[in-house]
Structure 1
Amino acid sequence: MKYLLTGVSGFIGSRVAEVLVQKGHDVVGIDNNNDYYDVSLKLARLKRIENKNFLFVKVDFSKKKQLELLFKEYKFDRVIHLGAQAGVRYSIENPMAYADSNLIGHLNILESCRKHRIEHLVYASSSSVYGLNEKTPFETSDSVDHPVSLYAATKKANELMSHSYSHLYGIPTTGLRFFTVYGPWGRPDMAPFIFTEKILNGETIDINNNGDMWRDFTYIDDIVEGVVRIADVIPTRNDEWKVESSTSATSSAPYAIYNIGRGSPIRLMDFISEIESALGLEAKKNFREMQPGDVHKTYADTADLFEATGYTPKVGVKEGVQKFVEWYKEFYKK
């Protein structure tokens, strides 16, 4: 099977590529390696994937012609589209970056999949789409019409755009609403990385909403297992489906949406305690109010994904944090 994998220099994308090539698939990975965060970390992730079945091509998928040439040359069977401009807070500072990557870029991917009759497009959505929802756990049948960040709005738009292409052109699409992913090789703009770095440097960590925050922290290997499995579960048409009696996560078109997370939220203060324990250091803490674009609690109902794939997260927070801290200290020579 030949895969196109976008965002291959990223945290999740690089690990998905590793697993796919280990399973014997051919993978062409693309990324523009922008400087949103440390490029050397992205390049180090790429180096880990080196395999005869893997090819890296530097491509910006927001540039339509670059993508068209790529599809024409490599003739992919499936596409796993994980590339995007990430970050909730950064979307407040630089909104246009999200229009280019997350909207135009996603449309370019859809158009290329249409023209080349890709058998399955799996793409990254986000738990951020649940926005102002307070009912937990979050279910894919819930309304997601009230995002609290532009990033979340672009991810909801990706789901709508994908449905239109599934309906019009019969392209099987599957969206994955990722919940907080952490682990070795993680992103420097995410809390586990920021907390670990600051605690080691003796700096104060900022704790939002005075510590009353909950996240469905999910270890990277568990996330990747779910992504790889769902690629084999290709949605099909369902002519019996009706809007009035069905969930918005399914359709008469070959379209599906799943939550992908641990399904067991952790209090932020407990997560910080695990980092402190793994480091053998106590954090200096600054408690502050809720920040713009943030949400109080994320909690994934993953029953649909389990039913479709048998996906069950296995790595607990204590083990996962320990592995992350060990990687961080080794990689940064701390």
Structure 2
Amino acid sequence: MAMPEVIRPMLAELAPSPFDSPRHLFEPKWDGLRALAFITPGDTWLQSRRLRRWRRTFPEVIAALRALVSGDSAILDGELIVPDASGRPDFEAAVARARMGEPAARRAASERPAVYVVFDLLYLDGEDLRGSPLRIRRERLHARALHWPQEGTVLLCPGAVGPGRALFESALGLGLEGAMAKELDSPYLEGRRSRCWLKFKPFAEEAMWVVGYVPAEPGGIRALAVASPPGRLAGLVGTGLSAAEQRRLRASLACLARSSPPPDLALPSPAARLPREAAGIVWTQPVRQVRVRYLERTSAGWLRHASVVSLLP
């Protein structure tokens, strides 16, 4: 079979809590950028989750892949991370790398190299493995990665069958984003979000003030602008509310609408900028509160992976 030139990555659903299972492979969840690696004897490139091709953005990773998979035609699935001084993944640094042009990327590759953590093998030397169970794909990947170095630019993602709770706690202790649980008998479901893959993350919850909303039709809300404390904007948050709840909330917020942001509202830091989605925002008086669940705050103060849990009285 000819090697595919594009594959949409399989996606995971969010699980409420970690668990143990002999039917699942548990892996650390890396705080980086999802990337598929396409390797042929004559060409190698990385593909982002949004199907963008990276040929010159991560030159150190491309070079390492060519050396480790020399002579093979293969497609790998994994995550690009940029470690900080303590060795922990720095998500903002990874995003910055992905936006660099070639000269800046080459400088970054020598000053602060990225690491590609491989967790799946989708194609190898004419054989499409996407329909094979994960346990087979991992066995084939391990066989190929036996001689890979334990440290370097391309690493095999560690994993264990069974102890999901312990692996989750260990991942958090290492400063990672959380953990993954993958059914050993599952095929690779290209472009689909499936419960065959589950992700666990340590979320925080906090009561925040609503200072605006981005309308959605008919009568709904695409996102809420929230502040914590009332005078400091924290970001735009997807509501997670039912259509009926969105309509009721929008009706109550319409009575609080303003032509400009609340006078005391400040961005989370001097370096922060409003997200693009804020162009259509309807600003409101900070009277209503919602409970927000989020993973963390960026260095600029914005919420990451946030959603509204409930409306507060």
- Using the size of structure 1 for normalisation, the TM-score is 0.25
Larger radius of gyration between Structure 1 and Structure 2: 2
- Using the size of structure 2 for normalisation, the TM-score is 0.26
Task: Considering fraction of residues, name the structure with more strand.
Answer: 2
